[in-house]
Structure 1
Amino acid sequence: MAPTLSPSVAQKQNLNLSLKMWLPMLQTSLQDLEKHLKNVSYENPFLEIKKPKEFYNNFMPQGTSGEFIESLALYDESLYDKLSEQICAPNFPTPNSQKVALEILCDINEEGYFDGDIEKIAITCNVYKEYVESIRQRFSRLEPAGVGAIDLSESFLFQLDACDKKIDDELYNFIKKIIKDIAHLDKYAAHHRFEDAKSIIKYFNNPPAIDFINTNIQIIPDFYVDIGEDINVRINHAYYPDIEVKDPFSSKNETIKEKLKEARDLVNLLNLRKSTLYKIVLLIVEKQIGFFVGGELRPYSMQELAKELGFAESTISRAVANKYIECTLGVFPLKHFFTNAVNDKDLSSSQIKSYIKSLVDYENKENPLTDQDILDMIFEKFDLQMVRRTITKYRKMLDIPSSKERKKLYKVENL
């Protein structure tokens, strides 16, 4: 067997530095990419970040109003930025705790809720799932209060513990009791501390990241997909900043040489980001071509894609976070294109949910379909054995009320 060379300490440090720059760059959204790179450039005098020519070509011909120019200069801190800067001591004092916290951060949605899989994160980070859960619980100490919770009730409990108002033990325990039974709030109305509890709860954010949700925000697609006689996948170059490496003089000073190397590495990593995302999108389009021409999504997992590209699944999860495709059907997050197979059939959960929605859309409003009715119809159409609780889960994911609730709603509509 041929001998292998152990990397030197300097090589290991360079590798660690590249990884430290690479993973945040890969995960950052296209909209936030320029700001991310500018933050890096502040620590390196040889870097200059500029908007690309394509950006001005896209927008300037339409006129440059003062409002537009102002919008380019302003930047609202994102939820990801806010949380990532808090992943440090004292809440996350060790490299291991920070690694797990960053994985958890990848699975915090725009509302601030954690919607990931604790067990998968444990496998990715090579730790026990109990340790991952303990790290998630530490998010209760971060701002905005309530983020990292799995649901409204837990978010309110996080916010209760973070509340800076004076709350005595009796009131604290009563509020905690209400939160755990928030769906039946009215039954506590006769309690002598009810008004006090309401005055505290009304200040809680629902969802926890509501201050970071901009309903008017423009989603910037990373890729454009055009399906005609040919399949055309284009990178949105207009929002990829240009990086200029200044090298005004040669120097034997090791610190200056290191900064120059960092600057050149950043250019290479930006190109690597483009090529990595391009490969991911090409595979998505190939696997889900039926969707782009009006069909349904096929079963396709991040694990399958990671295996095809030779990446870890956690890297793919970072890569697809906050990335979008624009096609004739609209703008879709990359995560939209991953859907699980149902009962090992070549049938995706997306197809089942779409079928459930169509059944409810055209049901008899005087006699709405029960979950059991839907279950029977799925078996008849797809020859697929499922359990009723799965239908209930899919229905709730689609925000479809139960048959009894729908019947009441239909009656109200007819008044």
Structure 2
Amino acid sequence: MDVRADQRQSQTLSPRLQQAVRLLQMSSLDFGLMVRDTLGKNPFLEPDDGADDADAPEAIEVSDGAMDGASFNDEPERVPVEVGDGGLESDRDLWHADAAAGNRQASDGDTSALDLMKAEDSLTMHLHAQLNTMPLGERDLTLAHVVVESLDDDGYLRTPLNELLDCVALDPPATLADMQIALKLVQSLEPAGVGARSVGECLELQLHQIECEEQRAIARTIVGEHLNALATRDTAGLARQLGQAPACIERVCDRIRRLDPRPGWRWGSSHIPYVVPDVIVKKIRGDWSVQLNPAVVPRVKLNQVYVDLFQRHRTSDDSEMGAHLQEARWTVRNVEQRFSTILDVAQAIMKRQRHFLEYGPMAMKPLGLREIADEVGVHESTVSRVTNNKYMATPRGVFELKHFFSRAMVSPNGLACSGTAIRGLIQDLILAESTGEPLSDAEITRQLAQQGLSVSRRTVTKYRQMLHIEAVGRRRRLNA
């Protein structure tokens, strides 16, 4: 047996660095939730209201230059506890003083905005309420409730009916015919299309909303027999198979597309995932200024009262509390480091893309991650994490930081142009086209070549789709 000793070098991330990486790649909403969750679990952390402890070394004060040169040492500076005639002389005084401050904050008696929010109504609650107002027997009502409880968030019944028979105990036992009757009953409820077992059935349950009887008959044929052609927008093929004029088929398909393929989405959570910008760009006295959005910067600090109490009475059995204290210190410093890095990257981006703010998308310059990484003094992977799910509010709109990066496309005359600028030029060409003769992708390619931009037709098609602009045939029919 041959035994050898090999020496290898490998890199491992410390727990603090792992936490810093996780915080850096989070979106502002996820980051805020994480900080609030940590505040609730860690007794050594508390929110900083910025009134009494603005000068505390652990407090996070975010301004234009507050994060420049931030220090991230492992051990924070200790704040001495005042002891004197009018100071806090004992642990009991410390504890009661901190508790009194907390009581003052919580005893305002004001009604919270959360108390005034309307209770959300789910799809199952909406359907159960309709069933309870119908003159049904106990057996039929029970089976209908079983079907409602089996619907998914889209409003579809994904479970086979024969499997639902095992979910209800009736005497005599329910049959498959009973479950089919209960399903038809649920499918008659609002919103229309609920209880469907496929997309075709969901659309078919909504066809009664089409007023024209002739269009309704054609729509029923399309939904029942030619659903794939409808999905691929094969209007010409449908017109040939159904023996109808293409214009008539186009009107019917447009009417079908206005139906709701996911009726359950109307009755779900009313929460709307808003995009909250991490940085805000403003023009102040002729110069562009980049600032952190104070709405997404959680003000958190160490609870120095609890830190002093713990360190004064710390024993060898307090390893768990010691871990909480270390986590609290890491959290404070990693929060500072996160926003310092975001601000530095955003400032470096705007330094190179200021023409975009002045003149629009066509003035966007090619930009790579390495260029920003060299400017800020970090690795490219750090810039990639910073620009992911981070947003910048500008006078021209809110953009993800990744929006400002694009590969350079070199024209025959040697000039470099970004993909964003080419997309803006394509959009301007389409907006200026004649309504009677819209531009095809090939024609757009030729016009770009005349302006010195060598772009393939496939690239033009991809950029047009990214702009959510219909193809030339579709635009011609809509204009007609």
Counterpart residue number, 1:289:
354
Matched to 2:26, the amino acid is T
* Structure-2 separation of matches of 1:166 and 1:343: 58
Deviation at 1:50, TM superposition (A): 4.9
312, 326, 329: which one aligns with 1:264: 329
3-state SS in 1 of match to 2:290: strand
Counterpart residue number, 1:349:
419
Counterpart residue number, 2:478:
409
Matched to 2:294, the amino acid is H
Relative to the length of structure 2, the TM-score reads 0.51
Whether 1:391 and 2:389 are equivalent positions in the alignment is: no
* Structure-2 separation of matches of 1:380 and 1:185: 33
Cα 1:408–1:202 change in 2 (3 A) is closer
Q: How does 1:201-240 map to 2 (within 5 A)?
A: 202=261, 215=272, 218-227=274-283, 228-240=285-297
Matched to 1:249, the amino acid is F
3-state SS in 2 of match to 1:221: coil
Contact 2:277–2:391 (CA under 8 A) maintained in structure 1 = yes
21, 46, 52: which one aligns with 1:23: 21
Counterpart residue number, 1:109:
none
Deviation at 1:38, TM superposition (A): 2.1
Deviation at 1:312, TM superposition (A): 4.0
393, 404, 408: which one aligns with 1:337: 404
The alignment-based identity, stated in percent, is: 27
* Structure-1 separation of matches of 2:270 and 2:437: 39
379, 390, 411: which one aligns with 2:449: 379
Relative to the length of structure 1, the TM-score reads 0.58
Cα 1:205–1:281 change in 2 (3 A) is farther
Counterpart residue number, 1:193:
none
Whether 1:298 and 2:328 are equivalent positions in the alignment is: no
Deviation at 1:320, TM superposition (A): 1.9
Whether 1:36 and 2:30 are equivalent positions in the alignment is: no
Cα 1:184–1:387 change in 2 (3 A) is closer
* Structure-2 separation of matches of 1:346 and 1:327: 25
219, 228, 231: which one aligns with 1:183: 231
Task: Give the superposed CA RMSD.
Answer: 4.4
3-state SS in 2 of match to 1:244: strand
Counterpart residue number, 2:386:
319
* Structure-2 separation of matches of 1:70 and 1:310: 47
Contact 1:34–1:241 (CA under 8 A) maintained in structure 2 = yes
Contact 1:302–1:338 (CA under 8 A) maintained in structure 2 = yes
Cα deviations across residues 164-196 of structure 1 (Å, max 9, x unaligned)? 52299xx99x99xx9987725999999xxxxxx
* Structure-2 separation of matches of 1:204 and 1:223: 37
Counterpart residue number, 1:358:
428
3-state SS in 1 of match to 2:439: coil
Structure 1 outlier segments of 4+, above 6 Å: 178-182, 185-190, 210-213
* Structure-1 separation of matches of 2:160 and 2:385: 40
Matched to 1:290, the amino acid is H
* Structure-1 separation of matches of 2:327 and 2:441: 58
Deviation at 1:386, TM superposition (A): 2.1
* Structure-1 separation of matches of 2:432 and 2:268: 38
Matched to 1:397, the amino acid is M
Cα 1:166–1:37 change in 2 (3 A) is same
Matched to 1:24, the amino acid is R
* Structure-2 separation of matches of 1:183 and 1:303: 42
3-state SS in 2 of match to 1:363: coil
Cα 1:365–1:283 change in 2 (3 A) is same
Cα deviations across residues 256-312 of structure 1 (Å, max 9, x unaligned)? 333212211111101101110011101110110101112421111334323443444
Contact 1:280–1:305 (CA under 8 A) maintained in structure 2 = yes
Cα deviations across residues 60-81 of structure 1 (Å, max 9, x unaligned)? xxxx996746599x9xxxxxxx
Contact 1:37–1:49 (CA under 8 A) maintained in structure 2 = no
Cα deviations across residues 367-388 of structure 1 (Å, max 9, x unaligned)? 111112111111111x122221
Larger CA Rg, structure 1 vs 2: 2
Unaligned 5+ runs, structure 1: 1-5, 55-63, 75-144, 147-155, 191-200
3-state SS in 2 of match to 1:293: helix
Contact 2:348–2:376 (CA under 8 A) maintained in structure 1 = no
Contact 2:408–2:419 (CA under 8 A) maintained in structure 1 = yes
* Structure-1 separation of matches of 2:458 and 2:277: 36
Counterpart residue number, 2:376:
309
Counterpart residue number, 2:137:
none
Contact 1:51–1:240 (CA under 8 A) maintained in structure 2 = no
Contact 1:367–1:407 (CA under 8 A) maintained in structure 2 = yes
3-state SS in 2 of match to 1:249: helix
* Structure-2 separation of matches of 1:181 and 1:266: 55
Q: How does 1:271-282 map to 2 (within 5 A)?
A: 271-282=336-347
